[in-house]
Amino acid sequence: MTTTLYEEVSQIIASVPEFDIVGETASGEDAVEKAQEHLPDIVLLDISLPGISGIETARRIRAVSPASHLLFVSQQNSIHMVREASGAGGAGYLLKSEAGRELLKALRSIQSGVQYVSEAIASSRDTYLSPPSQWPSNS
């Protein structure tokens, strides 16, 4: 039986005593409601969500739970998506393909106030780690 990414992420988080899962949702709208209800320290978001996008979900979560750190988990390895996620309040951007290896590192990083970008992205473009205003253009 194959483990889904969702199950893998849940298992990793559940295995670390310092983290608790306080809610899980299947849509952006539900994520905003849960964030408002629980005011979580960290929210994991996919860029592609049913209903409103992960980017719009992030903006709405920032409005109802401004102290929450947002970690995007996405398969999209593009500077455009990293910029959008950061612009929507994202504190981190983790590639799904790297989640098994980097999830705890990413969670601890953003929890301590340090932006996190998947190593695969950072190693291909060091500029991802600089402020968005200093990132290169897509051209």
Q: What value does the mean pLDDT take over residues 69-90? A: 90
Lowest mean pLDDT among 57-61, 85-89, 90-94, 124-128: 124-128
- CATH-assigned architecture of domain 5-129: 3-Layer(aba) Sandwich (3.40)
pLDDT digits (tens, 9 = 90+) for 7-49: 888 888 888 888 889 888 989 999 999 999 999 999 999 988 8
Burial of 108 (0-12, 13-18, 19+ CB in 10 A): middle
Torsion sign across C-alpha atoms 95, 90, 79, 49: positive
pTM of the entire structure? 0.84
Compute the residue count for the chain.
139
Give 117-125's long-range contacts (Cβ < 8 A, gap of 24+). 117/82, 117/92, 117/93, 118/77, 118/93, 118/94, 120/77, 120/95, 121/77, 121/82, 121/93, 121/95, 125/79
Q: Where are the domains of the chain?
A: 5-129
Angstrom distance (rounded) from CA 21 to CA 13: 7
Sheet holding 90-95, edge to edge: 42-45, 69-74, 90-95, 116-117
